[in-house]
Amino acid sequence: MKIDAHWLQGARRVASPNANARPEGEISAVVLHGISLPPGEFGGDAIERLFTNTLAPDAHPAFATIAALRVSAHLLIRRDGESVQFVPFDRRAWHAGRSRWQDGDRLRHGLNDFTVGIELEGTDECPYTEAQYATLADVLGTLMQHYPAISAERVTGHAWIAPGRKSDPGPAFDWAYLRRRLGTV
């Protein structure tokens, strides 16, 4: 994999308007998320529609409360391993919301400012696929190579930066397996 002008080569591009400039240009960590739309269902274009502000609120009962949200992520990794990029890495995607993280000796807030947000199509309870882990490991390796401030230790989950508010990527995500794939264990 390769990054060119902050876009992952080989990823399908679907531009999201839900992004803005990073306040200090820092790209130094990754937040992993889990998402399925409708909840518990995989496939379809609802995630892309959510991130591009085109999700019809009446298309499914679960969409009524989220269709007006203005959210995005840098990448989505689908169940079959396909990667879809919504926001170039040098821009701030709106994925983490209210968040905090102990970064060395300082507590940081507003992780969208310096993180790359990666959504994995899945749920807290359903195991993620081998294809997703393979793509994720390749993407993370590429990010670490292109943005040296990112390391395996600086990959975290949404649940860990928004405790009590978020639970993803959930207990079904195998952190130990990801670390083995990255060669950090």
The residues annotated as belonging to the active site are 119
- Phi-psi region for residue 5, left (φ > 0), alpha (ψ -120 to 50) or beta? left
At residue 181, φ and ψ (nearest 5 deg) are -60, -35
Q: Which two tokens stand for residue 84?
A: 């879809």
- Phi-psi region for residue 43, left (φ > 0), alpha (ψ -120 to 50) or beta? left
Closest CA to 85 of 47, 112, 28: 47
∠ CA 90-92-98, rounded to 5°: 150
